């Protein structure tokens, strides 16, 4: 129960990594506000709110587009009004691209960066504004965990817009930690390596899987719960004197 009496917003919570984070947080005692543009599950299965309800009746699902400032503010205001505070924000919602620089048209650039970069900024801004009004509890007014990527630090093969967006999230993590540390707002990130979420398409293309296996020293690729455990640590009171950090959960990818 490491998150007992905490309220946590998790974006992109319907599927994959976000879903695993939301469910683990609920199991650890948090009131989870699962946010997504859709309740459909990419990898199939029951909606996340149905699974959350098996763990905690306090959890809720709020539909919203994080690239829309009005939606983001509505969600944060709703959570603060219902539960009194926003203890944790997990910035996880993401869309992938799939093209090199010369093949990335303006529409593709806008689609990817609107969610991954602008959406993260809007969520950070709304959450920090709310957190600044809150009482300090265990040295924190609020905790933020951004989901970045190893491809925010090294090239993302044929995925230019995605890589740039994740690099921006790495930077925002450091900037928010630096600017608001004095206010007891803690901001860190988790950078997953290759995570098998159950999603199809390019994610499981044999060429891409072989590339990931060759880059990963550990003898398996990652799963959503691997990422969720790292996020749980950074979102909990156990993570003391840590801010501005981008924690790799990559099986050693970035060590090679």
**pLDDT tens digit sequence for 121-132:** 999 999 999 999
Label residue 116 by pLDDT band (50, 70, 90): very high
Mean pLDDT, residues 102-129: 97
Does the global pTM surpass 0.75? yes
Query: Please, what's the largest Cα pairwise distance for the chain?
Result: 50
* pLDDT recorded at residue 247: 98
* pLDDT recorded at residue 176: 98
What value, to the nearest 5°, has the Cα angle with vertex 83 and ends 81 and 89? 95
* pLDDT recorded at residue 198: 83
> Residues 44-53: pLDDT tens digits?
899 999 999 9
* pLDDT recorded at residue 110: 97
The whole-angstrom separation of Cα 246 and Cα 170 is: 7
Residue 68 CB: number of other CB atoms within 10 A?
Answer: 15
Mean pLDDT, residues 169-174: 98
What domains can be seen in the chain, in order of their start residue? 7-255 (3.40.50.720)
* pLDDT recorded at residue 48: 97
Percent of the chain's residues with pLDDT above 90: 90
The whole-angstrom separation of Cα 195 and Cα 198 is: 9
DSSP state of 222: B
Percent of the chain's residues with pLDDT above 70: 100
Mean per-residue pLDDT over the chain, rounded? 95
The whole-angstrom separation of Cα 128 and Cα 141 is: 9
Establish whether 121 is a catalytic residue: no
Q: Report residue 54 as tokens.
A: 């098996």
Residue from 162, 171, 180, 241 carrying the catalytic annotation: 162
* pLDDT recorded at residue 135: 98
* pLDDT recorded at residue 208: 83
The whole-angstrom separation of Cα 39 and Cα 186 is: 29
Could you tell me if 42 and 224 are in contact, meaning their C-beta atoms sit under 8 angstroms apart? no
* pLDDT recorded at residue 202: 73
Residues 6+ apart with CB under 8 A from 93: 11, 12, 18, 35, 36, 37, 66, 115, 116, 119, 120
> Residues 194-253: pLDDT tens digits?
999 887 777 788 888 998 999 899 999 999 999 999 999 999 999 999 999 999 999 999
* pLDDT recorded at residue 70: 98
Mean pLDDT, residues 29-44: 96
The whole-angstrom separation of Cα 98 and Cα 31 is: 35
């Amino acid at each position: 129960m490491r998150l007992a009496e905490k309220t946590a917003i998790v974006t992109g919570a319907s599927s994959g990594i976000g879903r695993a984070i939301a469910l683990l947080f609920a199991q650890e005692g948090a009131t989870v506000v699962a946010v997504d543009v859709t309740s459909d599950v990419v990898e199939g299965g029951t909606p996340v709110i149905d699974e959350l309800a098996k763990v905690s009746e306090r959890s809720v699902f709020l539909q919203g587009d994080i690239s829309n400032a009005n939606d983001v503010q509505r969600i944060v205001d709703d959570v603060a009004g219902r539960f009194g505070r926003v203890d944790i924000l997990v910035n996880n919602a993401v869309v992938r691209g799939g093209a090199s620089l010369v093949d990335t048209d303006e529409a593709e650039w806008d689609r990817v960066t609107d969610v991954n970069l602008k959406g993260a900024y809007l969520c950070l801004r709304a959450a920090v504004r709310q957190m600044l009004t809150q009482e300090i509890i265990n040295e924190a007014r609020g905790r933020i965990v951004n989901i970045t990527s190893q491809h925010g630090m090294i090239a993302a093969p044929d995925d230019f817009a995605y890589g740039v967006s994740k690099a921006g999230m790495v930077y925002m993590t450091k900037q928010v930690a630096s600017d608001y540390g004095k206010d007891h707002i803690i901001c860190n990130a988790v950078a997953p390596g290759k995570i098998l979420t159950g999603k199809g398409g390019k994610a499981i293309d044999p060429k891409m899987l072989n590339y990931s296996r060759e880059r990963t020293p550990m003898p398996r690729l990652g799963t959503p719960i691997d990422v969720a455990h790292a996020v749980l640590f950074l979102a909990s009171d156990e993570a003391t004197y840590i801010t501005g950090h981008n924690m790799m959960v990559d099986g050693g990818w970035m060590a090679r």
